[in-house]
Amino acid sequence: DTGVSQDPRHKITKRGQNVTFRCDPISEHNRLYWYRQTLGQGPEFLTYFQNEAQLEKSRLLSDRFSAERPKGSFSTLEIQRTEQGDSAMYLCASSLAVTVWDTITYEQYFGPGTRLTVT
């Protein structure tokens, strides 16, 4: 069963350092999403791609954050000059369009997440 995978699973870094996370979606899924989840909260949308195009970015995604999906397959999320407030679980999800009658929905499947701790 090849679900969504994320690497690394845990990352501890010092404030000011840059970090990069990788997400490998389910192979036939053309949409890929990034979310951030802090303790005791629901995931918050950051950005998403359809194939290699980044279609939307949340206001939560400051200039220090950048995401890419160069060939429409895996994606990377980079955080530059990390701050303690960046400590969170970073979740990746992928989806495929499901058409029921004339309505398209996107069932999103999440990876295990990358836990970032900024000290």
Burial class (CB in 10 A: 0-12, 13-18, 19+), 46: buried
List Cβ neighbours of 42 (8 Å cut-off, separation of 6 or more).
none
Site map 44..83 versus other proteins, x via CB under 8 A:
xx--x-------x---------------------------
Greatest C-alpha distance within the chain: 51
Q: Which stretch binds other proteins (CB under 8 A): 13-21, 63-71, 72-80, 111-119?
A: 111-119
- For the chain, the C-alpha Rg in angstroms (whole number) is 14
33 binds other proteins (CB under 8 A): yes
Kindly list the residues in this chain that would bind other proteins in the complex (CB under 8 A).
4, 31, 33, 35, 40-45, 48, 56, 91, 93, 95, 100, 103, 105-113, 115
